[in-house]
């Protein structure tokens, strides 16, 4: 169920820095993980995904790392830009859940010019 009263973790960086956003997932049976970006008042936007048979995947300016041993996921954003400021969520699912996603807590990323 939902957690009442939680405040999202925050990360503040300078423009041009690299950002690392972390996520701990709970279900060891999860086999697919996604990072989403959500801007204020909008729906989540897909960034990058990774399957459990991989430990790293790279996209344009973004890299996702998966450590199944400690159930940890991270998103690295290179050369962070002000337009990257948003809330970032990780989500997990597994092949037997018919596409149902479980979202992580989220991190607020603020990029200062």
Partner 1 sequence: GAVVSQHPSWVICKSGTSVKIECRSLDFQATTMFWYRQFPKQSLMLMATSNEGSKATYEQGVEKDKFLINHASLTLSTLTVTSAHPEDSSFYICSARPAGTSGSYTQYFGPGTRLTVL
- The residues of the shown chain that bind partner 1, judged by CB under 8 A, are 1-4, 6-8, 32, 34, 36, 41-46, 49, 89, 93, 98-106
Q: What is the DSSP string of 76-92?
A: EESS--GGG-EEEEEEE
Least spacing, CB of residue 16 vs partner 1, in Å:
27
- Two structure tokens written together for 54: 């991989």
Q: Pick the closest to residue 47 from 64, 27, 70, 30 (CA basis).
A: 64
- Two structure tokens written together for 87: 């809330």
Least spacing, CB of residue 93 vs partner 1, in Å:
6
Least spacing, CB of residue 1 vs partner 1, in Å:
5
Q: Which is nearer to partner 1, 53 or 98 (CB)?
A: 98
- Two structure tokens written together for 109: 């990323």
Q: Which is nearer to partner 1, 90 or 111 (CB)?
A: 90
Q: Which is nearer to partner 1, 33 or 111 (CB)?
A: 33
């Amino acid at each position: 169920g939902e957690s009442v009263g939680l405040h999202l973790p925050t990360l503040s960086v300078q423009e041009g820095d690299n950002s690392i956003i972390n996520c701990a997932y709970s279900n060891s049976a999860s086999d697919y993980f996604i990072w989403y970006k959500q801007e204020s008042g909008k729906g989540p936007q897909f960034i990058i995904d990774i399957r459990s048979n991989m430990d790293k995947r790279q996209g344009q300016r973004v890299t996702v790392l998966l450590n199944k041993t400690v159930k940890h996921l991270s998103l690295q954003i290179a050369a962070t830009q002000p337009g990257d400021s948003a809330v970032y969520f990780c989500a997990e699912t597994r092949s037997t859940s018919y596409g149902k996603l479980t979202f992580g807590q989220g991190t607020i990323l603020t990029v200062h010019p």
